[in-house]
Structure 1
């Protein structure tokens, strides 16, 4: 049975999706962009947006009873892969243990919501209770 996850410390979801869903030992976190609670893109470029997106994901995972160290797969979308990959990657690596990085896909896309430069989604395990 699936369970909706909500964190008041993350960007609120639109009516068309949940922040995350817990199901069968995993948490499926919806895409997060680097914006404030009122949907304003943060200043500072893709590095700053990556940090804010991952902070939001971290808060959602904590609300679900998990954490970033339980992420098994991340998908990252960049509007300018060539220009932004290095900055995004540098910010991303500060959130994960270098010896236990999740599996990851990073692709370039035409556009993202609100004009964001990066969007990140992930799947994490629920730790054993």
Structure 2
């Protein structure tokens, strides 16, 4: 077993805390939870509503995965954090599912939380496996 590889993606979102975008160990890739910030305008206001924020988070995850040569087809597990679970769960799911092949969805946990960084409504982290 080699040392973990820490990835920072130049085109990726600006970190909102001290972390690597992803850390890889023995073919497993752990992608830090992403926020709905725009990599091209990190100080801009967050998108309005759960659908727009979920899309931005998933687009940010796509940037991180793509930066290390992976895609959503390599994702084995997703964890989703929602600040308004009851209100946003259905819409978030409708948006989320469009990023994956329907019969190849990753394992998943969704958690209601009292708050997220930058006032976000949603955060998603991933575990992926390199082929």
When normalised by structure 2's length, the TM-score is 0.91
Matches of 2:106 and 2:45 in 1, distance apart?
26
Q: Which stretches in structure 2 are left out of the alignment for 5+ residues?
A: none
Residue from 10, 29, 48 that aligns with 1:44: 48
Which residue of 2 is the match for residue 25 of structure 1?
Answer: 27
CA pair 125-78 structure 1, distance change in 2 beyond 3 A: same
Matches of 2:93 and 2:74 in 1, distance apart?
19
- Aligned residues, how many? 127
Matches of 2:83 and 2:17 in 1, distance apart?
24
Which residue of 2 is the match for residue 11 of structure 1?
Answer: 13
Q: Which stretches in structure 1 are left out of the alignment for 5+ residues?
A: none
Matches of 2:11 and 2:91 in 1, distance apart?
25
1:81-96 aligned at under 5 Å gives the runs: 81-96=85-100
Matches of 2:72 and 2:66 in 1, distance apart?
8
State the shift of 1:5 in Å. 1.2
Partner deviation per Cα, 1:64-117 (whole Å, 9 max, x = no partner): 121111100000000010000011111101100110000000010000011100
Residue from 60, 66, 72 that aligns with 1:62: 66
Q: Tell me, yes or no, if the aligned pair for 1:41 and 1:49 is still in contact at 8 Å.
A: no
10-19 or 76-85: which moved more?
10-19
Is 2:130 the partner of 1:126?
yes
